Amino acid sequence: MNMHSSVCTLTSVSLTPRFRPVTPRCNQQNSCAVRESLVPTTLKEMEDNPVAEPIVKQSEMTRLERIQRQRALDKLSLPQFEAMCQAQGVPDLCRSATKTLQLNIGLYCNQACTHCHVESSPKRTEMMDHATAEACVRLMRSSPGILSVDITGGAPELNDQFRYLVTQARCLGLEVIDRCNLTVLLEPGQEDLPAFLAANKVQVVASLPCYGPTNVDKQRGAGVFDRSIEALKMLNALGYGCSGSEGLQLNLVYNPGGAFLAPAQAALEAAYREELRGLYGIEFNHLYCLNNMPIKRFADSLVRQGQMEQYMQLLVNSFNPQAGPGLMCRDTVSVGWDGRLYDCDFNQQLDMSLTDVSGLSTISTAIFESDRRISQRQTATEVTEIVPGIPNTTNEEDLGPNSNLLKSIHRSQAVPDQTKSLTVFDIASLAELEGRRIRSDNHCYGCMAGSGSSCTGAAVAS
Ligand code: SF4
Ligand code: SF4
């Protein structure tokens, strides 16, 4: 039997209202303190800290960020991402069969972390509705290659659709991952969330950028570390991360606290285990090390601190072609809160959606493909001259070193931007996306730097 075609019979889906009144739930003074919502603290911090809020509206910020990254590369005479991939022998940036369906079901969050690439906060109101969630479930059923459903946000658990999606995916036999900020487990109204996750054998992937309070609170907000430790203890008490509790996976995520790369994953995992076990008696399965992507709130902080060029230089200098085959965009489809489809969550935040090229005329499609090939040849030629030691992988002598790189890049992106974004309502199966070219740009250097970076940590063993 095709496990994805089975009909889900689970009907007792508990839907959690997104906003619940913040009311004390017990009489014990100490435990009540930690049960109060984090939202008022987060909002107060956002008032005091302008980095937490975009200074211009989202679309304008995205455009400015692209220009800033581009300027940083131009100023340093560094190559474009796609050209670097070609010159370094990275396999073609094309989609393979989709194995993971990643759902970003909303941008509302009880935190407003300084590095957040989706710029979530309690002020965001964008949330996936039920019709879109249903369309996602339909795709789970019709796409037999899917192995896991990765649910993220925002704080995804605070969306009404979270428990519906979890139970439907589990009924179809799929692995479910909850990208959990931990503090949400202590939010009023979420008292039954840990038990719900355990009952459905949901893998919890939780951010904890340090095993000490200072760095965590600096990056994620006042009081977040204490609440995170409390939440981890709650999960351990249910068997998460503990030996003998097969199926209850608890994985932690580290990301750097500034403009530097994640260290070696295996060594840091050992340090985390020793510290968390020794200091708090906390157990977990694995630590995923992620690089900070030069987009959104982190890009904003880089620009404010005059570090964008330095960070882009670091990413380019740390380019690791071995990370190329494992790029998560090859086998993951990312769905936005409004149902639009993307190669990854980062592209989602940059409005680089998958586009419907079927509506283009034959001539337009031919021009688009021709432009792309020319762009690739030009950039591959130029990168060999910019980066010493990289062998010339093309024989395109006719394409001179002074070709207008930026113009070609813009041309290669112009046609898809004018076409309609694909959504979950437009396709019958995720298999339709196989073979498509991945929409890359210079932020992608973040995924190829050092040991590589993906939603499951380093792409290359370190
Ligand atoms: S990084 Fe995660 S927890 Fe922090 S604001 Fe963004 S979505 Fe929320
Ligand atoms: S940022 Fe670029 S390289 Fe990284 S997953 Fe997305 S499309 Fe792929």
pLDDT tens for each residue of 185-197: 999 999 999 999 9
The yes-or-no verdict on residue 219 having pLDDT over 50 is: yes
Torsion of CA 391, 394, 400, 405, to 10 degrees: -90
**Distance (Å, whole) CA 397 – CA 9:** 63
Ligand nearest to the CA of 442: 2
Residues 348, 295 contacting (CB under 8 angstroms)? no
- CA dist 247 → 170, 309, 327, 374, 426 (Å): 13, 44, 26, 49, 35
Q: How far away, in angstroms, is 450 Cα from ligand 2 center?
A: 15
390 lines ligand 2 (CB under 6 A): no
444 lines ligand 2 (CB under 6 A): yes
| Mean pLDDT lowest among 52-66, 270-284, 333-347, 401-415 | 401-415
Q: Report which protein residue has its CA nearest ligand 1's atom 3.
A: 181
pLDDT of residue 137: 98
Q: How far away, in angstroms, is 90 Cα from ligand 1 center?
A: 31
Residues 117, 299 contacting (CB under 8 angstroms)? no
Q: Report which protein residue has its CA nearest ligand 2's atom 7.
A: 440
Percent of the chain with pLDDT over 70: 75
357 DSSP 8-state letter: G
Residues 241, 235 contacting (CB under 8 angstroms)? yes
pLDDT of residue 361: 39
Domains, the chain, with CATH or none = 31-349 (3.20.20)
**Distance (Å, whole) CA 82 – CA 440:** 7
pLDDT digits (tens, 9 = 90+) for 279-331: 999 999 999 999 999 888 888 888 888 898 899 999 999 999 999 999 999 99
Bridge partner residues of 372 (DSSP): none
| Mean pLDDT lowest among 51-65, 136-150, 374-388 | 374-388
pLDDT of residue 245: 63
Bridge partner residues of 134 (DSSP): none
206 lines ligand 2 (CB under 6 A): no
Strand order in the sheet with 332-335: 286-289, 250-254, 203-207, 175-180, 148-152, 100-104, 332-335, 341-342
319 lines ligand 2 (CB under 6 A): no
- What is the average pLDDT value for the chain, to the nearest integer? 80
**Distance (Å, whole) CA 121 – CA 112:** 5
45 lines ligand 2 (CB under 6 A): no
pLDDT digits (tens, 9 = 90+) for 399-434: 233 233 323 333 333 334 457 899 999 999 999 999
pLDDT of residue 122: 96
Per-residue confidence at 132, pLDDT binned at 50, 70, 90? very high
User: In 3D, which of 143, 195, 201, 191 has the Cα closest to residue 171?
Assistant: 201
ipTM over 0.95: yes
Mean pLDDT calculated for residue range 151-174? 97
